[in-house]
A = this chain, B = another copy of it.
Amino acid sequence: MVSIFPSARLRVSPFYESALAEGMVSASVYNSMILPTGYGDPQAEYWRIIEGVSQWDVGVERQVQLKGPDAARLAQILSPRDLSKCKVGQGKYVPICNHDGVLLNDPILLKLADDLFWFSIADSDMWLWARAIAAERGLDVEVSEPDVSPMALQGPKAEDVVAHVVGDWVRDIKYFWFRETEIEGIPVAVQRSGWSKQGGFEIYLRDGSRGIQLWNIFREAGKPWGIGPGAPATAERTESGLLSVGGDTDEHTNPFEVRLGQYVDLQVGDDVVGISALRKIAEDGPVRHQLGIILEDSEPRMPPYQWEDIMVEDRKIGSVTNSIWSPRMNANIGFALVDVAAVPGDAVAVFNGDERVSAQLVELPFL
């Protein structure tokens, strides 16, 4: 057991004290902040996401805010997805790539106004990237990290809880769309979103001094639905085929390799970072693709913390990028980043050091 403590360099979210009070026992670090990952009862936490409603401190999902006359232009320059039809109040899942077409991040872009955008980012210092591009191109835009911290309600009962707190209008919100509002005077944006496929919302807290108050409002409101604390769940996200950039990707991975090709619009402007490289990759065809993998050991095993080799006879065809026990499938499952020649149904072997496990490639998602 290795303990971690926050510091000025390793920040906490406005919900940190609430997470401690709920009994947080484990954490990860994401965007240089403490991300609660467990509350001591993994089984209950998993099933709460699948069957009930789970409350997550995901304040680590930082916002890279673009504001100013060139904000829309910079948003498009940073993303190879066509944003020309994005409306105020709409969010879009967008890949961000470097000049070689390598995937750097996969944020949700929120359009708050014609000159105001948030990239709600995955784990990496995207403000450095955005500021460098903006400054080098001489754009008139301010790139900053606003006082915004998401809290998530996830699970099939999340909508009832959120509707109870903010009103039935949230039931009509489309996926990734959002509305700015107040909850007992606390400024928030409410978005249908979240890093699970069980349905739910993210509540973007816009006043970091009121995290505990906001947490408690939902904690109380959710009691009739059996709300409890939780966190982004590796088992659920693996079953559902959700990507973890930085976990499932390496320094060579492009969007086409990890099922994000549908979010790349090759006809966007030539000034979009990486678009030339992406056009070339699309034309040549990617060399790897992402599949599911089912391991044939029958007991839950410790999730490995490094990629594992996937072999066919003596030939390495790719890597398992994550694997975990699936309570709903009663199997160890994972993601495989493999040669495009490898297809669902292929029998393979997974090696962790000298330890060999038979496995089979399958389509994603699992469920």
Chain A positions within 8 Å of B, measured between CB atoms, are: 1-12, 24-29, 32, 34, 36, 98-99, 104, 123-126, 128-129, 131-133, 135-137, 144-145, 244, 246-248, 251, 273, 303, 305-307, 321-322
For A24, list chain B residues within 8 Å (CB).
Answer: 2
Total copies of this chain within the assembly = 2
For A5, list chain B residues within 8 Å (CB).
Answer: 2, 26, 28, 305
Given contacts A124-B128, A125-B128, contact A135 B2 (CB under 8 A): no
User: 13 new A-B pairs (CB below 8 Å) besides A32-B124, A98-B128?
Assistant: A1-B25, A2-B5, A3-B3, A4-B29, A6-B305, A7-B247, A7-B322, A11-B305, A29-B29, A29-B32, A125-B125, A129-B132, A136-B136
Q: Are A3 and B2 in contact (CB under 8 A)?
A: yes
In whole angstroms, how far apart are the Cα atoms of A87 and B142 in the complex? 39
For A2, list chain B residues within 8 Å (CB).
Answer: 3-5, 24-27, 34, 36
Q: In the assembled complex, how far is the CB of residue A306 from the closest CB belonging to chain B, in whole angstroms?
A: 7
In whole angstroms, how far apart are the Cα atoms of A104 and B136 in the complex? 16
For A98, list chain B residues within 8 Å (CB).
Answer: 128, 131-132, 135
Q: In the assembled complex, how far is the CB of residue A27 from the closest CB belonging to chain B, in whole angstroms?
A: 5
Q: In the assembled complex, how far is the CB of residue A104 from the closest CB belonging to chain B, in whole angstroms?
A: 7
In whole angstroms, how far apart are the Cα atoms of A67 and B344 in the complex? 40
